[in-house]
Chains A and B, each alone.
Chain A
Amino acid sequence: DAKTTQPNSMESNEEEPVHLPCNHSTISGTDYIHWYRQLPSQGPEYVIHGLTSNVNNRMASLAIAEDRKSSTLILHRATLRDAAVYYCILTARIQGAQKLVFGQGTRLTINP
């Protein structure tokens, strides 16, 4: 399974944008980029996924580098509820997302 590298922790202020980086230099052409987050005392929650193009949904945006060796999860206006551990995960396209290989993730702290 291809590896991802994320900062251990990040801090931001409420109502400001947050950019969470992820490096995946060994990504293959068939790997999707997934982001999940885990709020305190809860199971992980799907945030967004993409393959090559930038993606937007109601929760966040995903910006994927042209060479696909890195990506950035963007929370446009952070709230206190966004404080969580964010995981960047690669999944083989042929497998779907049935085997998620979690790294250590980035612990995001939001200051009021």
Chain B
Amino acid sequence: KAGVTQTPRYLIKTRGQQVTLSCSPISGHRSVSWYQQTPGQGLQFLFEYFSETQRNKGNFPGRFSGRQFSNSRSEMNVSTLELGDSALYLCASSYHRTDYEQYFGPGTRLTVT
């Protein structure tokens, strides 16, 4: 069974631009969560989607948004990029919201210049 895939793996953007990152969960998994990892703040929860609905949200500004499609694939969008948005963005999936194990993808490394 293929693991969680994230595209692109690396991305360079300029301040003020917007970016869309994609996550394909493991086949059959319906819950997708997103995390941001930076050297200063560590791993922080962004949001969680299940059945195309956002179920949980972390403490991030409204510039960070996401969505989930009927096939469980998910995208996250960051608008008006800031230098501080440079980070590794990780996606994790599980079959159901009450599962106790999440499977993480390799992440997308975003650099904002």
Contacts and interface: CB of A to CB of B under 8 A. Distances in A.
Nearest to A104: B42
A46 to B, nearest CB: 4
Contacts of A102: 35, 42-44
A43 B90 CA distance: 7
Contact of B97 (A34, A46, A87, A96): A96
Interface residues of B, number: 28
B56 A49 contact: no
Nearest to B33: A98
A97 B105 CA distance: 16
A39 B4 CA distance: 16
Contacts of B103: 46
B45 A100 contact: yes
Contacts of A32: 100
Nearest to B46: A99
B96 to A, nearest CB: 7
B33 A99 contact: yes
A7 interface: no
B74 interface: no
Majority-rule SS of A interface residues = loop
Contacts of A46: 101-103
Contact of A44 (B44, B90, B100): B90
B29 to A, nearest CB: 12
Nearest to A51: B100
Interface in A20-51: 32, 34, 41-46, 49
Contacts of B104: 42-45
Nearest to B56: A99
Contact of A98 (B43, B48, B106): B48
Interface of A: 32, 34, 41-46, 49, 87, 91, 95-105
Interface of B: 4, 31, 33, 35, 42-45, 48, 50, 55-56, 58, 90, 92, 94, 96-107
Listed from nearest, the 6 A-B pairs whose CB atoms lie closest are A43-B104, A102-B43, A96-B98, A46-B101, A97-B100, A98-B48
